[in-house]
Structure 1
Amino acid sequence: MPKYPLMIKTWPLILIIWVLDTIMTFLQIHMQEVTLYNNLILTATNGASAAFCACILSLVLLPYFIRRQQILLFALAAVSFCLVVSALVVYFSLPVICSSLGEVIARPQICSFQSMMPGHFISVLMCCGTVCGIRFYQEYARTYVDKEQLRTAHLEAELTLLRHQVNPHFVFNMMNSIHVLIEKDARQASEMVLEFSDMLRYQLYDCSKPFIPLQQEIIYLQNYVNVENKRRGNELQVDCKWDVHTPHCLISPLILTPFVENAFKHVSCFNDKPNYIRMDLYQEADSLFFVIENSREEEPPLPGDTVSTQKGIGLVNVQKRLALIYPEKHFLKIHETAGQYTVFLEVKINAAQNN
């Protein structure tokens, strides 16, 4: 919405344009050497009719036709209305007009309805056209703002829903991990429950914000990796690199987590060869890069580098969140081969909060 008060309210615009039109009319009549008294009468007559038409058209007819998306019909109605008002004003004020002009013109007989009507009609139409043009811009701006507010509310509601979908997905995975570890080592399972409670606290409180410091997200990921390492023991090799030089920059919470969850969920379980997960999070200027690889069971390679449609809800949700929060400000590539799954993500970490 325009920030200037005169572009928000209509009546100041009508007043300003009416004053300017009245001044111009007064000066034009004054140049014809009409007496001041008659000049004021003629100016007031023209100005009153212009102001009346501008108010009716801009405040009543224009909003009515805009709501019905009938702008062409409004234009026809506006011209007709100005024509009728001008005709009535000229007809009833003709004696005063002719009496005033008779003092300065050589041929008073040219003072007739046919000769006076066009000039008055054009003057009223120009005044009304200016006011209605600005009024149309106001209505368009108001409609645009309403649509943007509705769109923003819709996106916020969708993001909230997506976050709520991520949390149960994470909880189910971790509870299953704790269940498995209880049978192996009760003490480590107890420690995992405490770490898990800290992670839930992060999700419940910190993740309610639209953006958080990147360092908080990294700590959360590190805790997640530690919990998974305790559950899996020596059967999985996990290598992590965290190279971020501005840890206080902002990022959308849980935007990286689904990729880590997906790696641990689908990593291979070989007995005769290494099972690995490699994570590399690094920063260059205002871009954040996240590369994660995990070994996978031998399967026929998928055609091309497209993402399989049979993926979990976490990965699908993070793709939607990236599209909503970082539109045209991120690049995601997922590459699958027979023995490895690779995710490459680039995000402009300052793009979303600066928009």
Structure 2
Amino acid sequence: MKNCHTKAYISFVALIWLMLAALFLFQYMNQVSFIEAILFCFSLFLPTCLITSYLSNSLLPEAIRNKKMRCFVVHFIVIMLVTGMIHLAIFIIFEKLEEAGVFKPSELVRTHYHVVIEYIMALPAIFIINLGFCGIRFYYEHNKLRQIHLKTQLQVLQQQINPHFMFNVLNHIYILMQKDVDRASELLVKYSEILRYQLYNGKEELVPLSQEIQFLKDMIEVEKTRWGKELSVDCTWQIENGDRDIQPLLFFTFIENAFKHVSRSISETGFVNVIVRQKGASLFMEVVNSKPLRRIKKNNASGLGLINARERLEILYPDRHSLFIEENEQVYIIRLNITL
């Protein structure tokens, strides 16, 4: 992603320089010979391009990183004044060449005013050029920092996904090892698949939808193994194209939340219903779980998980998702729509 942004920036800047050079060349060709126009444009644009590139691609990023924008403003002004002197010198050189007969006399480089006035008149164009390319570079640096910030934020959010589920499963495996070794072994094998997906696929930017769905199925199977007949679990999977890409570990929190807070007791059998449908670019998910009859104090960790899930969706699918959470005395419902 970083290389793509860099290549796009370089291509865009190069295109602007080519357009400016072509515009100036086309203008000068009507006033002087083709050879003189080529040499004049080359002499004018080469130092300008080098100086402006140094200003925008070296001094500006360094000033942004070190937070020394005031120092950069001073550099900007000094470089603009120096560039103006170079432009004035080039005009004078070509004027002398025309006077010496190397080129035909023209109005292009003839000094009509005092040299100081000519110098001052050249500064606005130089100011606009330098300001324009510095503005483009500043926008590029802003986007780059934003991408780094978002990537770091996503890594932090993903690191907060794993612990609660992992500790609960390992605790149940420990208990089962003392009662039912075969069942504990089965649970351990299934959980190893989940952990492998979290460790490796969770680091990818995108994964096939089929892999993410299989991860959810494994996760639900682990929960069903853990709770046995204490829970009723019903799942519906309608996937049109499992090769479509999706962000990994996107639905983890919603499934985890349902099994964590579902009603479980001798007097009542809780339930968890999961529906996932994908057709074209539309993906719909609904998770419904029963709630305990007695009110249980809210778990702060659970609230943090849902907050993280919301933030990930805002970062990964801005303006391309809708998340609805409904709750009443009997059930807790989560509905999520995503445009892939």
Asked if these proteins are the same fold (TM beyond 0.5), I'd say: yes
Q: In structure 1, what is the Cα distance between the partners aligned to 2:53 and 2:186? A: 72
| 2:224 equivalent in structure 1 | 229
Distance 1:173 1:316, change over 3 A: farther
* CA apart distance, 1:333: 1.2
Q: How many residues align?
A: 309
* CA apart distance, 1:54: 9.0
Distance 1:275 1:321, change over 3 A: same
Cα deviation 1:115-134 (Å, max 9, x = unaligned): 932899679957972x6645
Kindly indicate whether residue 308 of structure 2 is the aligned counterpart of residue 321 of structure 1: no
| 1:199 equivalent in structure 2 | 194
| 1:291 equivalent in structure 2 | 286
* CA apart distance, 1:174: 1.3
| 2:150 equivalent in structure 1 | 155
Kindly indicate whether residue 162 of structure 2 is the aligned counterpart of residue 167 of structure 1: yes
* CA apart distance, 1:138: 3.0
Counterparts of 1:343-354 in structure 2, within 5 Å, are 343-349=334-340
Instruction: Indicate the SS of the match to 2:32.
Output: helix
| 1:26 equivalent in structure 2 | 32
* CA apart distance, 1:291: 0.5
Distance 1:136 1:242, change over 3 A: same
Distance 1:63 1:237, change over 3 A: same
| 1:209 equivalent in structure 2 | 204
In the alignment, which of 288, 309, 321 is matched to residue 330 of structure 1?
321
| 1:63 equivalent in structure 2 | 55
Distance 1:136 1:265, change over 3 A: same
| 2:112 equivalent in structure 1 | 116
Give the TM-score normalised by structure 1: 0.68
* CA apart distance, 1:346: 0.9
Query: Is the contact between residue 21 and residue 127 of structure 1 (CA under 8 Å) also seen in structure 2?
Result: no
| 2:249 equivalent in structure 1 | 254
Query: Is the contact between residue 241 and residue 279 of structure 2 (CA under 8 Å) also seen in structure 1?
Result: no
Gaps of 5+ in 2: 1-7, 64-68
Cα deviation 1:140-190 (Å, max 9, x = unaligned): 223322222222222222222322221223311211232343354332111
Q: In structure 2, what is the Cα distance between the partners aligned to 1:81 and 1:123? A: 6
* CA apart distance, 1:202: 1.8
Distance 1:345 1:294, change over 3 A: same
Query: Is the contact between residue 243 and residue 283 of structure 1 (CA under 8 Å) also seen in structure 2?
Result: yes
* CA apart distance, 1:294: 0.7
Gaps of 5+ in 1: 28-39, 98-102, 104-112, 350-355
Q: In structure 1, what is the Cα distance between the partners aligned to 2:53 and 2:139? A: 20
The higher radius of gyration belongs to 1
Distance 1:342 1:18, change over 3 A: closer
Instruction: Indicate the SS of the match to 2:302.
Output: coil
* CA apart distance, 1:135: 4.7
* CA apart distance, 1:20: 4.4
Give the TM-score normalised by structure 2: 0.71
* CA apart distance, 1:193: 1.0
Distance 1:61 1:270, change over 3 A: closer
* CA apart distance, 1:13: 7.2
In the alignment, which of 315, 318, 332 is matched to residue 341 of structure 1?
332
Q: In structure 1, what is the Cα distance between the partners aligned to 2:261 and 2:225? A: 17
Q: In structure 2, what is the Cα distance between the partners aligned to 1:268 and 1:219? A: 25
Superposition CA RMSD, Å:
4.7
